[in-house]
Amino acid sequence: MIRHSVLVLILLSGPVSAAIEPDTVSNTGAARIGAGFLALDAGARPAAMGGAYTAVADDATSVWWNPSGLARLNALSAMATYNTIGEGISLSHIAGAMPAWGGVVGASIAAYTWGSYEVRDQYGTKLKDESPMDVGGVLGYGFANPSWLGGRGWSGLSAEFVSLGAGGTAIGGNAGVIMPLARELSAGLALRNLGTAGKGASLPAKVTGGAEYYLPVWRVRAALDAGYGLVDQVASIAGGVEIALHPVLAVRVGYRRLLTDQALNGLSGITGGVGFRLGAVGLDYAFQPMGDLVTSHRFALYYAGRKKPVAQPVLDAGMKKPKSAFDPAEEYQAATRLSAAGDHAAAATRAGNALAADPKMWQAWQVLGNAQYAQGDKEGALVSYKRALEINPGNTQLAGFVSQLESQKKAVTPAPAAPGDLEYQESVTLYGAGNYPGALEKAGAAIRANSGHWQAWQMVGNCRYAMGDKTGAIEAYRYSLKLNPSNDQLKGFLRELTGEK
């Protein structure tokens, strides 16, 4: 049993486990490693993706992986992870991050328990049982790159402090950068665990580079990483895929390979897991083979506050004010597709990108309002809708919906939104984008949810008219007027179509 535990520890710490003895020489014969647990994955989602997380980092665990990922957060984020490894060995992380001082501050504590083992003297007499623990803390800061760094992407730094169960302390740090290369493609670079662990040992320093490609319409994310240990001189490769089958459920799979003779094949092979999200909270699970001896099981509780749309600015030479790097038309079109697909959080982000490039794009304000409304933020939706109406006051359908929202707000007991309202607003957005078949489908969904939704019947008429079906448009308009006979504007338009007086 004791020998089994020692073998597991060796696997977890890489080619060396100086956590057992800081002066242990590595397999390369050239370096000593201390606090080897710092090389283990923080969080369940990264582990499920094979550790390919350098360019993906976008939660509180970024403080360990790549501190520049902290800057991608714009709301409170927290995570608690428990990793069961076997033989009484476990690794736990608690991490949190929040915007502060013009960037995002993150902090985390990790506890690594070795299990229990016997201490004997030179004659083999048992002296005692010990259950040592390594404890590490990290504090980091991530920020959007300023103009002198090109004005694009994010950078970050973090400092580590470790108390070793075998005695002694270690101090180190991490640094990283993430850069958007294209609309859906990002690259990342991180220097991890740079520092010393005392008694001539070094932390498991490593340089990693990676790329992330994300297709928001399909909600598929793919990532690749390559790394090199600066102390153990071992190279590694990793890849991972995350697919959001539903806004509530995501599946993940990955593969990691150390490019060296691993004897017991530790930290190599296929990984996988799932993630569940319900509003601001979630649960992640990952399994990770640790060689022939054990399999690691990770569980992580996740919290993320409501996000506001983020736009990545870029500064042009000689300009004092930031100019958006995004094409507003492309971002707006992407926002409408995401909204129609039900990914309202991503739709809000893309609409925000469009507005960063063109604050007067009323359609983007309306899409943003739709996304906020769908996520339960009626106050924010009302603000966005009003901005859209300030720019385009002739949008009578939106004006009617805003009036309805304001009436609910003023009521002593706010009335719940009528069935079909969300589908109707999505149809308005698609109609404004010129997607008449899509708008007709969403208006039909609103009517199926609420057959008395007169605005949706009017939208059906608008779509049919735009698609050349004048007879069908007249039929829909008449039914809308039957439900709401006070719509004088529609009455006038219907008279023009039919020639009736």
DSSP for 137-188 reads EEEEEEEE--GGGTS-SEEEEEEEEEE-TTS-EEEEEEEEEEEE-SSSEEEE
> Mean pLDDT, the chain, as a whole number?
78
**Cα dihedral sign, 364-366-371-375:** positive
- Would you place residue 497 in the very low, low, confident or very high pLDDT band (cuts 50, 70, 90)? confident
| DSSP category for residue 30 | S
Question: Is pLDDT of 101 > 60?
Answer: yes
How many CB atoms are located within 10 Å of the residue 356 CB?
21
| DSSP category for residue 261 | -
How many Å apart are CA 474 and CA 493, to the nearest integer? 10
pLDDT mean over 131-135: 82
Give the CA distances from residue 278 to residues 281, 283, 285, in Å, rounded to whole numbers and listed in that order.
6, 9, 15
Residue pLDDT, tens place only, 423-460: 888 888 777 667 788 888 888 888 888 888 888 898 89
| DSSP category for residue 293 | S
Q: pLDDT at position 280, please?
A: 81
pLDDT over 70, % of the chain = 78
pLDDT mean over 50-70: 93
Residue pLDDT, tens place only, 248-281: 899 999 999 888 654 444 456 899 999 998 878 9
Question: Is pLDDT of 26 > 50?
Answer: no
For residue 236, list its beta bridge partners: 227, 258
Residue pLDDT, tens place only, 308-367: 444 333 333 333 434 445 677 788 888 887 777 777 777 887 887 788 777 788 888 888
Domain boundaries of the chain, sorted by first residue: 2-119+129-304, 326-498
Of 75-79, 230-234, 323-327, least confident by mean pLDDT is 323-327
Does the predicted TM-score (pTM) go above 0.75? no
Question: For 2-119+129-304, which CATH class?
Answer: mainly beta
How many CB atoms are located within 10 Å of the residue 25 CB?
13
User: Using CB atoms within 10 A of its CB, is residue 119 exposed (0-12), middle (13-18) or buried (19+)?
Assistant: exposed
Question: Is pLDDT of 16 > 70?
Answer: no
Residue pLDDT, tens place only, 177-194: 999 887 678 999 999 999
- Tell me the chain's radius of gyration from C-alpha atoms: 28
Contact indicator for 204, 14 with CB cutoff of 8 Å: yes
Sequence letter at residue 384: S
The domain 326-498: what is its CATH number? 1.25.40.10
Q: pLDDT at position 3, please?
A: 38
- Would you place residue 291 in the very low, low, confident or very high pLDDT band (cuts 50, 70, 90)? low
